[in-house]
Structure 1
Amino acid sequence: MSDIGEIRMQVMWNRLISVVEEQALTLLRTAFSTSVRESGDLSAGVFDTRGQMLAQAVTGTPGHVNTMAEAVLQFMREIPRENMFEGDTYVTNDPWQGTGHLHDITMVSPSFLDGELVAFFACTAHVVDVGGRGFGADGKSVYEEGLQIPIMKFAEKGKVNLDLVKILRCNVREPNQVVGDFYSLAACNDVGHRRLVDMMTEIGLTSLDGLGEFIFSRTRAAMLERIQALPKGSWSNELVTDGYDEPVKLVATVSARDDHVHVDFSGSAPMSRWGINVPIIYSKAYACFALKCVVAPDIPNNAASLDFFTVSSPTNIVNAVRPAPVALRHVIGHMVPDLVLGAMAKALPGKILAEGAAALWNIHISARPVDGAAGRRAEVLMFNSGGMGARPGLDGLSATAFPSGVHTMPIEATEHTGPIVIWRKELRPDSGGDGEFRGGLGQVLEIAATDGHEFDFSAMFDRVGHPAKGRLGGKDGAPGVVRLDDGTRMRPKGWQHVPAGRRLVLELPGGGGYGDPSKRDPAARAHDNSKGYVSETQS
């Protein structure tokens, strides 16, 4: 290919990325659920006619993007080409064919140009409710966790399946929000389609095959170079999490070969009877994310880069099979990167960050008037983050969602959705593990219902009994705490009640420290004290 041809292809690649960025922004701007529009709990991408991911939007979580990369192939298997038409949109929330639990809705739309199929657009978002028990770990099977939507058509030739919409409205607690999000997802793909057609028409393309080959060939060459530069061998790591009612052990063995890296989860705990199980599609998504952070963080994430990573596991908690309950699959799934990175730290000593809070401290609040009095009922979902582990050469980031990457929800947006008040939201002093580089701080939240209201909440927390470990001599981060303002301890998982007049206090875990604490720069310690990150007794 000539230099001019290379430049032209690069320009088209950049243009394609701008198409999926606008696709994702459409969802952000039109979504009804705060988890989408405020926190960016979504993904968007464009795929070629074989179902291979060409490009993804920067906005999005690894758990959505990397599962979506496989989900499109599932859609193509279920809906044959002869049943695909212009104006179609397909949908599912099947945990094993989508993103791992029922609350995530995945939509896929074929894109046609002059009657010919040229691409697929896909997007995923977390909706506030799917019926059943609600968002929590208390279900004993997936059948209790909400409405299951098999791969089917949300719209055919531009006409929405109103029967599906009616079923949705009859099965969820917030029908307007949920149905609104379905239409937002469909609009997201439609915008991507229209922008792609504009691009192809302007440039004079009739197919994305040439551009796809350009993207994939360069990605493969760059990835192979990085894989071959890794030390060769196998390294194992174990990590213990809180689980639901007993600790859960996770085990990963990472093997680096000449042309790929493999992760095996043999030895991990068996499936749980509670909803903390993880379908393998989600475990693989976060294992691949962790590997890519180490091997090739600067190489685009697409089908070619993901092909270099493989994952295997017997049936266990990270490879749960139907009908296991999986509503909180993210709690264990978000631990997978720390698990995999711990193995990689043995292969690449001195180059891997310490463990962090990992799992989001999501909380689903169901608020209502006391004793049936007049007032407002609402379902409120909040995403909160603890501290990241310290990095080689840098302190950990505080109150930051790693590995999910979702944004923090503004207090004002959260309070607007229901009768609750966030009385306190601040960094938690002394929560970051000490070290040459300090772990990131967790945060403290204090939540109450407004006058005349009470609420139940679904706890989805971890690192309460098993804090984030430091690395290379760094100290562990502080464990999380769940309590009422009168000191009553609450469980880290499961539905619980907060009476009117009481406040729920969440003390989020901190990240582990990195390196010998005696080597910390005195100026850095003085800065920690001046900012209140540590108390005088901890300095």
Structure 2
Amino acid sequence: MSDIGEIRMQVMWNRLISVVEEQALTLLRTAFSTSVRESGDLSAGVFSPRGEMLAQAVTGTPGHVNTMAEAVLQFMNEIPREEMYEGDTYVTNDPWQGTGHLHDITMVSPSFLNGELVAFFACTAHVVDVGGRGFGADGKSVYEEGIQIPIMKFAEKGVVNRDLVKILRCNVREPNQVVGDFYSLAACNEVGHRRLVGMMREIGLTSLDGLGAFIFSRTHNAMLERIKALPKGTWSNELVTDGYDDPVKLAAAVSVHDDHLNVDFSGSAPMSRWGINVPIIYTKAYACYALKCVVAPDIPNNAASLAFFTVSSPTNILNAARPAPVSLRHVIGHMVPDLVLGAMAQALPGKIQAEGAAALWNIHISARPAAGGAGRRAEVLMFNSGGMGARPELDGLSATAFPSGVHTMPIEATEHTGPIVIWRKELRPGSGGDGEFRGGLGQVLEIGALDGHEFDFSAMFDRVKHPAKGRNGGKDGQAGVVKLDDGTLMRPKGWQHVPAGRRLILELPGGGGYGDPAKRSAEARAQDRSRGYVTEDGK
């Protein structure tokens, strides 16, 4: 290929990325749920007619993007090519064919140019409710966790499936928000399709085959070069999380070969009877993300780069079989990167960050008037983040959602959705593990209902009994705490009640420190004190 040809291909590649960015922005700007609109809990991407991910939007979580990369193939297996038409949109929330739990809606739309299938667009978003027991770990099977939507058509030839919409409205607590998000997802793919077709007509392309070959060949060669430079061998790691009733052990063995990396999760705990199990599609998504952060963070994430990572596991909590309850698959799934990075730290000493809070501290609040009172009912979902682990040369980031990457919801947006008040939201001093580089801080939140209201909440928290570990001599981060304002301790998982007049206090965990604390500079310690990052005793 000539230099001019390569430049032209690179320009088209950049145009393709701008297409999926606009696709994602459409979802952000039209979504009804605050988890999408305010936190960016979504993904968007464009795929070849063979179901290979060509490009993804920067906005989006690894759990959505990397599962979506496999989900498109599931749609293609279920819906024959001869039954795909212009104006179609397909949908599912199947945890084993989508993103791991029922609250995520995945939509796929074929894109046609002059009657020929040239691409697929896919997007995913978390909706506020899917019925059942609500967003929580209390279900004993997936059948209790909400409505299940098999892979089917949301729209055919531009005509929406009204029967599906009616069924949705009868099965969820917030029908307007949920149905609104379905239309937002469909619009997201439609915008992607329009921009792609416009680009192809402008450039004179009749297919994306040549551009796809360019993208995949460049990505493949760059990934292979990085992998060849890695030390070869197998390294193992174990990590213990809180679980529901009992601690859960996670185990991983990372094997680095000449042309690929494999993660084996043998030795992890068996499936739980509670909704913290993880379908393998979600486990793989975060395992691949962790490996890519180490091997090639700057190389584009597409089918060619993901092909270098494989995952194996017997049936266990990280490879849960249907119909296991999986509503909180993210709590355990978000621990997978720390688990994998712990193994890679043995292969690449001095280059891997300490453990962090990992799992989001999501809370689903079901608010209502107190007995005999009048007022407003609402379902409120909040995303909150603890601290990241310290890095080999930098302190950990505070109140940052790693590995999910979602944004923290603004207080104003959260309070607008229901009769609750966020009385306090601040960094938690001393929660980051000490070290040459300090772990990131968690947060403190104080949540109450408006006068005359009470609420139930679904706790989805971890690192309460097993804090983030430091690395290379760094100290552990502080564990999380869940309590009422009168000191009553609450459970870290499961539905619980907060009476009228009481407030719920969440103290989020901090990240582990990195390196010997004795090596932390006097300047850094003075800065910790001046910024209020440490308590009065300096910890």
Q: TM-score range by the shorter chain?
A: over 0.9
Instruction: Specify the alignment match of 1:476 in structure 2.
Output: 476
Instruction: Specify the alignment match of 1:148 in structure 2.
Output: 148
SS at match of 2:408: coil
Instruction: Specify the alignment match of 1:316 in structure 2.
Output: 316
TM-score normalised per structure 2: 1.00
Letter in 2 for 1:278: V
Instruction: Specify the alignment match of 1:157 in structure 2.
Output: 157
CA distance in 2, matches of 1:286, 1:396: 20
SS at match of 1:415: helix
Instruction: Specify the alignment match of 2:302 in structure 1.
Output: 302
Instruction: Specify the alignment match of 2:25 in structure 1.
Output: 25
Letter in 2 for 1:359: A
Question: What are the within-5 Å matches in structure 2 for residues 14-413 of structure 1?
Answer: 14-413=14-413
CA distance in 2, matches of 1:373, 1:98: 42
| Deviation for aligned residue 1:538 | 2.3
Letter in 1 for 2:225: E
CA distance in 2, matches of 1:326, 1:522: 47
CA distance in 2, matches of 1:536, 1:415: 33
CA distance in 2, matches of 1:528, 1:538: 8
CA distance in 2, matches of 1:50, 1:225: 26
CA distance in 1, matches of 2:32, 2:60: 17
SS at match of 1:536: coil
Instruction: Specify the alignment match of 2:454 in structure 1.
Output: 454
CA distance in 1, matches of 2:41, 2:372: 34
Instruction: Specify the alignment match of 1:518 in structure 2.
Output: 518
CA distance in 1, matches of 2:225, 2:536: 49
CA distance in 2, matches of 1:366, 1:64: 26
Instruction: Specify the alignment match of 2:534 in structure 1.
Output: 534
CA distance in 2, matches of 1:535, 1:398: 16
| Deviation for aligned residue 1:372 | 4.2
| Deviation for aligned residue 1:89 | 0.0
CA distance in 2, matches of 1:91, 1:117: 19
Letter in 2 for 1:263: V
Letter in 2 for 1:410: P
Question: What are the within-5 Å matches in structure 2 for residues 417-428 of structure 1?
Answer: 417-428=417-428
SS at match of 2:190: helix
- Runs of 4+ in structure 1 displaced over 2 angstroms? none
Instruction: After superposition, give the CA deviation of every residue in 1:215-242 in whole Å (9 maximum; x if it has no partner).
Output: 0000000000000000000000000000
Instruction: Specify the alignment match of 2:3 in structure 1.
Output: 3
CA distance in 2, matches of 1:530, 1:301: 40
CA distance in 2, matches of 1:503, 1:346: 44
Q: Which runs of 5+ in 2 are unaligned?
A: none
Question: What are the within-5 Å matches in structure 2 for residues 424-503 of structure 1?
Answer: 424-503=424-503
SS at match of 2:253: strand
Letter in 2 for 1:483: K
Letter in 1 for 2:462: D
Instruction: Specify the alignment match of 2:509 in structure 1.
Output: 509
Instruction: After superposition, give the CA deviation of every residue in 1:104-125 in whole Å (9 maximum; x if it has no partner).
Output: 0000000000000000000000
CA distance in 2, matches of 1:258, 1:290: 19
CA distance in 2, matches of 1:535, 1:169: 50
CA distance in 2, matches of 1:431, 1:374: 40
CA distance in 2, matches of 1:152, 1:357: 37
Instruction: After superposition, give the CA deviation of every residue in 1:276-322 in whole Å (9 maximum; x if it has no partner).
Output: 00000000000000000000000000000000000000000000000
SS at match of 2:500: coil
| Deviation for aligned residue 1:424 | 0.1
Letter in 2 for 1:479: A
CA distance in 2, matches of 1:181, 1:200: 29
Instruction: After superposition, give the CA deviation of every residue in 1:167-212 in whole Å (9 maximum; x if it has no partner).
Output: 0000000000000000000000000000000000000000000000
Count of residues in Structure 1 that have an aligned counterpart in Structure 2? 539
CA distance in 1, matches of 2:112, 2:334: 37
Letter in 1 for 2:351: K
| Deviation for aligned residue 1:535 | 1.8
CA distance in 1, matches of 2:429, 2:24: 36
Letter in 2 for 1:155: A
CA distance in 2, matches of 1:429, 1:16: 44
Letter in 2 for 1:90: Y
Letter in 2 for 1:112: F
Change (3 A) 1:260 1:457: same
CA distance in 1, matches of 2:137, 2:310: 29
Contact map agreement 2:529 2:538 (CA 8 A) in 1: no
Letter in 1 for 2:425: K
TM-score normalised per structure 1: 1.00
SS at match of 1:155: strand
| Deviation for aligned residue 1:536 | 3.0
SS at match of 1:9: helix
Letter in 1 for 2:314: P
Letter in 1 for 2:58: V
Contact map agreement 2:27 2:185 (CA 8 A) in 1: yes
| Deviation for aligned residue 1:373 | 1.9
Letter in 2 for 1:28: L
SS at match of 2:537: helix
Letter in 1 for 2:33: S
SS at match of 2:323: coil
CA distance in 1, matches of 2:459, 2:534: 28
| Deviation for aligned residue 1:386 | 0.0
SS at match of 2:105: strand
CA distance in 2, matches of 1:166, 1:487: 45
Letter in 2 for 1:244: Y
